[in-house]
């Protein structure tokens, strides 16, 4: 989900959500943002910690702004996120 898609999705939520995103300003209360790094290597290093942090917030939903797929590392990150989403 891109930035504009993210804002539209957030606006339609009934319950508060934890949101992993590249722009914290796109996330208004009662939702809570976790700012993610712009670089693929940094994103990969913090991704699972960010997911655990989001899970610890006790929200009913975790939204993740879709990362770019501009290189193989970003594609691998997207694959991991999609696999994690299927586990729930």
- Three-state DSSP class for residue 17: strand
pTM of the complete model beyond 0.85: yes
Alpha helices (runs of H) in 12-71, residue ranges in sequence order? 40-56
Residue pointed to by tokens 């940094």? 42
- Three-state DSSP class for residue 25: helix
Lowest mean pLDDT among 5-14, 16-25, 46-55: 5-14
Range of the domain at 57: 3-86
d(CA 13, CA 17) in angstroms, rounded, equals 8
Question: What value does the mean pLDDT of the chain take?
Answer: 91
Domain count, the chain: 1
CATH number, domain of 14, equals 3.40.50.11030
Q: How confident is the model at residue 33 (pLDDT cuts 50, 70, 90)?
A: very high
Question: Is pLDDT above 60 for 88?
Answer: no
CB 37 within 8 A of CB 74: no
Reading the block at residue 21, the tokens are 């995103």
């Amino acid at each position: 989900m891109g930035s504009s898609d993210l804002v539209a999705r957030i606006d339609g939520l009934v319950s508060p959500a934890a949101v992993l995103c590249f722009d914290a300003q796109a996330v208004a209360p009662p939702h809570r943002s976790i700012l993610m790094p712009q670089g693929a290597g940094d994103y990969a290093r913090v991704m699972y910690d960010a997911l655990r942090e989001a899970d610890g917030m006790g929200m009913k939903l975790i939204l993740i702004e879709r990362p770019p797929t501009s290189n193989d590392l970003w594609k691998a990150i997207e694959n991991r996120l999609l696999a994690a989403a299927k586990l729930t």
